[in-house]
Structure 1
């Protein structure tokens, strides 16, 4: 299969994942095999896995977090150079947990990207499979409904919003319907939040983002 490179991005058919050559033989690659159509390419640069619909995965491992700030420079380079939609998957373990809050603040608030924690590469592969299947289901849907679902019920965004204390799936959907994105959500007033989720949860959300920004 030929995947042309246009404007610095790879065109990926639905149901496929293009993996960076460095992941060949890894646990995450082995678990993806047979579940999605995985093909390796050597020229992906900063990106670990390319999905369809201009979505890509940047994986930050436990070792990356412990080693220092190089992963931050990589994310900044990606954000500045690419128009692709990047989802950051972070390996959150007992060892790397101490770094997670700082990474969350950097990725979500400073870069405006979606951040999803996983315990290991096995969980990372499950998340990638879920994203691929969701995109494939949406591909054949009515364009208006597809756009609406992408905004309101995209698994990666929903999971990210549900990381906020007091917010379950229903409240996450309501918040995304009202404010549209995580980046917008972290900048709204407590009064605006109260209109959607009530006083108690609004205070929890407001405090959560205030803590990240301090």
Structure 2
């Protein structure tokens, strides 16, 4: 069996504000929700990538079903890890049903230095993707500065998600971000606070 991991090629050219979508999503209910928010284009030649909200941000989406069924996405993560001059992002469902599985995915992403963004379910995905696309239109043209800016802005997106936690407002979420630094650490904080809130009910 060939275990060679072929790196993902350079990201495609994408008009500002558009999202490039893998052909496998065409005709789905999710596609209709995505198109209701903004402009999308399709491509059948972007390998394992589900979405490109920008040329430097390949995105893989891991839904609740994939997490619960134990689908192995290790190979996908390894491919994303080998991306050069881009900011690969993993978006995954993180809810009461997927706490354990999300934690396992989180550990893998952390060890591979991949950005992981939690969402409640697929209904939150269209808005997040277009937020990412909008952010890239505001980034400088320098690819190295753009990569750094993208990471910062993705952390800001995570910050907004964490303000949805009961008892955590914008001020407290900002304190957590300042204290723990890298956005990956916030996922652990989110999990601990979520479990703490659950135990109170």
- Give the TM-score, by structure 1 length: 0.66
**CA distance in 2 between partners of 1:152 and 1:82 (Å):** 15
**CA distance in 2 between partners of 1:128 and 1:148 (Å):** 17
Partner of 2:13: 11
Partner of 1:38: 40
Call closer, same or farther: CA 1:171–1:142 in 2, change over 3 Å: farther
Unaligned runs of 5+ in 2: 1-7, 193-201
**CA distance in 1 between partners of 2:176 and 2:156 (Å):** 6
TM-superposed CA distance for 1:149, in Å, is 8.7
Partner of 2:174: 170
Deviations 1:130-157 (A, max 9, x none): 1122222x15x797xx869926850x22
**CA distance in 2 between partners of 1:14 and 1:57 (Å):** 17
**CA distance in 2 between partners of 1:74 and 1:14 (Å):** 26
Partner of 1:212: none
Partner of 1:121: 122
Aligned residues: 174
- 8 Å contact from structure 1 (residues 115, 160) kept in 2: no
Partner of 1:150: 149
Higher relative contact order structure (alpha carbons within 8 Å, sequence separation ≥ 6): 2
Call closer, same or farther: CA 1:11–1:147 in 2, change over 3 Å: closer
Partner of 2:196: none
Deviations 1:55-108 (A, max 9, x none): 12110011211232521221112212554211111012443233111111211x
Secondary structure in 1 matching 2:73: helix
**CA distance in 1 between partners of 2:83 and 2:68 (Å):** 26
- 1:96-107 map, 5 Å: 96-107=98-109
Unaligned runs of 5+ in 1: 1-5, 187-203, 209-214
- Give the TM-score, by structure 2 length: 0.69
- 8 Å contact from structure 1 (residues 158, 172) kept in 2: no
Partner of 2:56: 54
TM-superposed CA distance for 1:39, in Å, is 0.9
Call closer, same or farther: CA 1:152–1:116 in 2, change over 3 Å: closer
Partner of 1:74: 76
TM-superposed CA distance for 1:14, in Å, is 0.9
Call closer, same or farther: CA 1:133–1:64 in 2, change over 3 Å: same
